[in-house]
Structure formats: C-alpha cells, structure tokens
C-alpha cells in the first residue's frame, strides 16, 4: 500500500470526490479577506460562503490547502507535530450535509481508507454536544471511554475574533493503547497522542460584540494535517521524518556534512527549523510575499533570518559548497521547489525569482550579523561577568542591537539564551514605545487571531524590524 505523502493527499481528495465533493485548488497563502494576515486553514477561501455573503457554487468541496501558522513558530522542531508551513486536507459542506455525515465519513476515511486500527482512534467533542456524542457512540460505535468531552479552548473553533465558528470534534491517534483508558487520560499528552483531524460544525457567526448568531445554514469545515497523517501511516517518530519533509533535511545534512543519526537534539532541531522555514519561505514568496519590515514581509524576513542562524549553528559556512561568500539557503530552497508539484504547481516556473529573493536576504543578513555580533558578544561578556545570578542584557542594549545593527530582538534573545543570559524585554518595549512615539509612523499591522487566542501579530508588532541603518532605511520603509 502506497503511504507516500503525495498518495495520501490523492486518496483523501478521491475519497471525498467519490462522495460528491468538488475537488478545488488550494487558495493563496495571502487571503483575499483583508482582516487576515495569512491563510491559517482550509476554510478561509470559503469564509464568505459560510457567512452567506456569496452564493455557494457547489454544495460541498474538498481541498489540500497550503497553510501558514506563525503562532506555531516556537513549536517548530520542539514538538513532533507543528510546522509554520503545512498542508491541511479538508472537506467542506455549504449548507449541505452536517454532523452525521461528517463524523461517519471521517471515521471511514481514517479506519477503512487509511486503515488505522479502530481501537487506536480517540475522539473529542465539545462539552455539551450530546448530538455528536450520540453519533460517535451509537452510529459509529466508538466506546464511551475513548470519547472525551472538552472545553471551549480545544473544541470550539473560530477562525478569528469574529466570523464563522462552531463546536468541533477531533480525532486523535493513540501511539500507546496499552496505557489504557480512564478519566485521567489526557488527549493533550503528546507523548501518547497526536491530533490529526478536526471536524468543525460551523453554525454560528461570532459578532464584534462576541455574540453567537446562528448562520442561515449549517456548514461543515474540516482540517486534517497531511504531515501528521503521513507521520502516523509512515510510522516515523515525527512529521519531519516523513517523505514530505525529510529530503529537505537530507539536503541540509549534505551542506553541513553531517549525518542525521549522529546529530544531537540541538542539531536536529536546527535541521527541522531550516526545513520548515524554507518550505514556508518558498511558498510565501511564490504567493507574492517578499522580505520586508512589516506584516507578511516581516514573517518571511524573520523565517529566513532564523534559518540562516540555524545553518550557522550547524557549521555551514558560506554556500556550504566551498564558496565562503555564497548563500546556502537557495540550495535548500531548490529542494523544496523540486518537491512542490502537488502543493503549488506555479512554484517551479517562479523558481529563479524565489531563489534570488532568498539569496539576497541571506547575504544581507549575514553582513548584518557580522557587524552586530561583536557588540552582542561584548554585551554577553559584560552580563556574564557581573555577580548577578540571572545575567541579563538591558532593554537599551537590545534596542541598540535592533535599531542600529538590525538584530531582530528574538535573535538577540535566542543567542543570549544559548549562553544563559536573558533579555530585559520590558525595557526593550519601553525603548520601542519611545521610538514609536517619536516617529509617529503609522503601524501597518493586520490583526489575526487563531482559535487559542494567540495574536500572531503581537510578535511581529513587538519585534518590528525597522532597518539596517536606522535613519536611512527607516525613511524608505515608512514612506
């Protein structure tokens, strides 16, 4: 049986196509919805249909949607299951079928099409969704001990502060069924479970005032993480070792001249971060986002810069192939592009521009790094030579590094943390605030929250990178 990522994607789409769904292409990572920064889920392109603002073209559809979630940035490489870039497989009903069919098909897909053993699949439901409980228990036959009622944080899905939303039911895979059942079993325990499929019973619109208005029709919105189901079916320990991502890691290993098996945990994290971030960067640039200092462009810039530093920590010099002046990320990106056919068929044709953007940003940042690193080193030594038990870099110094040397504060923090030094973030904020007040520049910040209430632009706003040479570059950026 073929369990390659490409075949899993195909089988998902075929499964729903043969149940009356129209197969539609992935939408861009840059949503049409002006209130949203980036495409975080498959439902975004259908938001106006769910809200009843545009008539449906088909009763139900299925997609493989490329997604970006910057709220998971810190999780990349730390958990086995989070990426900034991933593909969400989805089936959608626009006032057509509802809970019963969505649940039964999700079960059939998981246990028959993908062949997961029924006793390894657990489900969660929204605390008072008795209807979902009845369907899982009586129609599907899931034993009650593997149905967990959960609260709003996990089982009430909203795409943002306002908009279509509803209770959801999720499917989890159990890696250790021998650990048994019981009230104390926690589906959030990621040493045992992985959430792979979320079924949202989209029947409300959340208004500005926070009220839940019933929608005209009841909809279905689902998301199944391709890399996660691939991890399960390919029986590998994490998403990164699936055929969807590992070839990119292999390319980085080659450039670093090391082997995966001999890499320690820190090096493995670096490998995963580079592979993840380069996927995100390639698809973001393909969808028209280029590195800059604000909004989406800052996301790309930050991802590239983080990847550059991780490359350095793996000992990759220059282009990794002998030229100390070159850039290595374009070589990694080439691999991503080679694997892009079913994710975004336009990428190959745009490849020269994508590679050039990445090359320039990498080389630019490396110069910045060289200049700032001396100062940062000095500040770290100063901090470590105090008798302070918790050595710390002042907000003012972090601000100078940021403002004059172009060190994004999260990079300063990351370097410092490696040496056991912290950053006075409150002090840094004060400096930022002063500068903001002085410059009176308009802030181009697009708001986006995901279901757990994480404001992904909070991060971006706090660390907005204003330029290499504080005065000249800022004038350009802000004009």
Instruction: Summarize as ranges the residues that interact with ligand ATP (CB under 6 A).
Output: 69, 72, 81-83, 86, 88, 195-198, 223-225, 227-228, 451
Q: Which is nearer to ligand ATP, 199 or 421 (CB)?
A: 199
Q: Which range in 7-15, 192-200, 337-345, 463-471 contacts Mg ion by CB under 5 A?
A: 192-200
Q: Which is nearer to ligand ATP, 426 or 452 (CB)?
A: 452
Output the smallest distance, CB 308 to ligand ATP, in A.
22
Q: Please provide residue 125's backbone torsions phi and psi, each rounded to the nearest 5 degrees.
A: -135, 160
CA distance 134 to 151: 18
Token duo for residue 413:
């923090």
Binding partner selected for residue 225 from ligand ATP, Mg ion, none, CB under the kind-specific 5 to 8 Å limit: ligand ATP
Q: Which is nearer to Mg ion, 71 or 331 (CB)?
A: 71
Q: Which is nearer to Mg ion, 150 or 355 (CB)?
A: 150
Binding partner selected for residue 96 from Mg ion, ligand ATP, none, CB under the kind-specific 5 to 8 Å limit: none
Output the smallest distance, CB 144 to Mg ion, in A.
21
Burial of 247 (0-12, 13-18, 19+ CB in 10 A): middle
Output the smallest distance, CB 124 to ligand ATP, in A.
10
Q: Which is nearer to ligand ATP, 44 or 256 (CB)?
A: 44
> Is 84 within 8 Å of 120 (Cβ atoms)?
no
Output the smallest distance, CB 269 to ligand ATP, in A.
16
**Is 198 among the residues that bind Mg ion (CB under 5 A)?**
yes
Q: Which is nearer to ligand ATP, 86 or 328 (CB)?
A: 86
User: Per-residue DSSP letters for 119-134?
Assistant: GGEEEEEETT-HHHHH
Q: How many residues bind Mg ion (CB under 5 A)?
A: 2
Q: Which 8-state DSSP code applies to residue 366?
A: H
CA distance 435 to 443: 12
Output the smallest distance, CB 195 to ligand ATP, in A.
5
CA distance 111 to 98: 20
Q: Which 8-state DSSP code applies to residue 476?
A: H
Give strand pairing partners of 67: 86
**Is 222 among the residues that bind Mg ion (CB under 5 A)?**
no
Sequence-separated (6 or more) residues with CB below 8 Å from residue 294: 444, 445, 460, 464, 477
Q: Which residue is nearest to Mg ion (CB)?
A: 198
Binding partner selected for residue 228 from ligand ATP, Mg ion, none, CB under the kind-specific 5 to 8 Å limit: ligand ATP
CA distance 242 to 295: 31
Q: Which residue is nearest to ligand ATP (CB)?
A: 225
CA neighbor of 252 nearest in space, from 321, 301, 304, 300: 321
Question: Interface residues with Mg ion (CB under 5 A)?
Answer: 195, 198
């Amino acid at each position: 049986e073929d369990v390659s990522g490409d075949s899993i994607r195909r089988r998902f789409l075929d499964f729903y196509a043969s149940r009356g769904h129209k197969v539609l292409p992935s939408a861009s990572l840059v949503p049409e919805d002006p209130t949203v920064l980036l495409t975080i889920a498959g439902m975004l392109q259908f938001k106006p249909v769910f809200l009843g603002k545009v008539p449906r073209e088909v009763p139900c559809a299925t997609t493989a949607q490329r997604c970006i979630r910057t709220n998971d940035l810190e999780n990349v490489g730390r958990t086995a299951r989070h990426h900034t870039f991933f593909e969400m497989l989805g089936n959608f009903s626009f006032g057509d079928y509802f809970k019963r069919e969505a649940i039964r098909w999700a079960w059939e897909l998981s246990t028959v099409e993908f062949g997961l053993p029924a006793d390894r699949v657990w489900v969660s439901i929204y605390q008072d969704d008795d209807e979902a409980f009845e369907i899982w228990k009586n129609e599907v036959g899931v034993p009650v001990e593997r149905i967990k009622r959960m609260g709003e944080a996990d089982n009430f899905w909203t795409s943002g502060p306002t908009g279509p939303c509803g209770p959801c039911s999720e499917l989890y895979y159990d890696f250790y069924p021998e650990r048994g059942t019981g009230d104390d079993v926690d589906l959030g325990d990621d040493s045992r479970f992985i959430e792979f499929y979320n079924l949202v019973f989209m029947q409300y619109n959340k208004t500005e005032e926070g009220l839940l208005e019933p929608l005209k029709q009841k909809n279905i919105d689902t998301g199944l993480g391709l890399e996660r189901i691939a991890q399960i079916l390919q029986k590998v320990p994490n998403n990164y070792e699936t055929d969807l991502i590992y070839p990119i890691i292999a390319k980085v290993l080659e450039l670093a001249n090391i082997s995966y098996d001999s890499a320690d945990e820190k090096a493995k994290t670096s490998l995963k971060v580079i592979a993840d971030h380069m996927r995100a960067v390639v698809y973001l640039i393909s969808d028209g986002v280029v590195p800059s200092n604000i909004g989406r462009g800052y996301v790309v810039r930050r991802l590239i810069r983080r990847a550059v530093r991780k490359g350095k920590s793996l000992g990759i010099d220059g282009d990794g192939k002998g030229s100390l002046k070159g850039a290595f990320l374009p070589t990694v990106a080439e691999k991503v592009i080679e694997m892009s056919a079913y994710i975004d068929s336009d990428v190959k044709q745009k490849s020269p521009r994508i590679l050039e953007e990445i090359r320039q940003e990498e080389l630019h940042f490396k110069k910045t790094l060289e200049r700032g690193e001396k100062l940062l080193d000095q500040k770290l030594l100063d901090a470590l030579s105090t008798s302070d038990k918790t050595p710390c870099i002042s907000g003012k110094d972090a601000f100078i590094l940021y403002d004059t040397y172009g060190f994004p504060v999260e990079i300063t923090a990351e370097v410092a943390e490696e040496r056991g030094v912290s950053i006075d973030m409150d002090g840094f904020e004060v400096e930022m605030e002063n500068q903001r007040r002085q410059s009176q520049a308009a802030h181009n910040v697009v708001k986006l929250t995901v279901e757990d209430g994480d404001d992904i632009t909070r991060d971006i706003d706090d660390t907005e990178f204003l330029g290499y040479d504080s005065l000249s570059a800022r004038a350009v950026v802000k004009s």
